[in-house]
Copies of this chain bind each other. A is one copy, B any other.
Amino acid sequence: MPSAIDFYFDFSSPYGYLASEKIDDLAARYGRGVNWIPVLLGAIFKVTETIPLIQMPVKGEYYAHDFARSARFLGVPFQMPHPFPIATQNAGRAFLRLQDRDPVLAKKFAHACFRAYFTRNTNLSDMSQLTTVAAAVGIDAAELSAAVNDPALKERFRAQNEAAIARRVCGSPYFIVDNEPFWGADRLPQLEKWLQTGGF
């Protein structure tokens, strides 16, 4: 059985969201699974010495335009959220907790988070709003709160981020398949060709 694709993303990443709507179907066409791995871009930006795309001089304006156009190009609903970006460690910790219980449920939760933020302006950094998103996929407030405040999960999420940085993950979305790295929703066609041909 061919190895799964590692899919690194931050819940606050527009291109990460766009890729999240495509990667499982793409992988399935070539008999591959996908490991969803939430990370924090803030920590990655420290080692890459960069800032959020939207805050970059001149480029920021282009990116805002490109987020929406890339969404239309890919046929994915999109509405630019405000505030942007937001802190996503709570969503990340909750994802890890759910993954232990049921990986399918964890992905369902991740999709719900991405769609809530990028189509309905639901602020995932606000616990009451995150609770509403979680409730819609069957996770109650008590479980969510426990996950978010669990010191062991905090440490695990931190370590997962460090491991991603050690693997040279430099943005979101970032994919690694058979040791080959692909960065960006715009690299999905190259990733697909890689799966199709076994490397090119």
Contacts and interface: CB of A to CB of B under 8 A. Distances in A.
Contacts of A69: 190, 200
Stoichiometry, as copies per complex, reads 2
Tell me whether chain A's interface is mostly helix, strand or loop, or mixed: helix
Given A181-B65, A183-B66, A73 B170 contact: no
Contact of A57 (B49, B58, B181, B200): B49
A35 to B, nearest CB: 20
- The number of chain A residues touching the other chain, given as a range, is 20 to 34
Nearest to A174: B62
Contacts of A62: 168, 170, 181, 183
A183 B57 CA distance: 15
Contacts of A47: 57-58
Given A58-B168, A62-B170, A69-B190, 11 more contacts: A48-B56, A48-B58, A49-B56, A49-B57, A50-B59, A62-B168, A66-B183, A72-B200, A73-B189, A73-B200, A186-B186
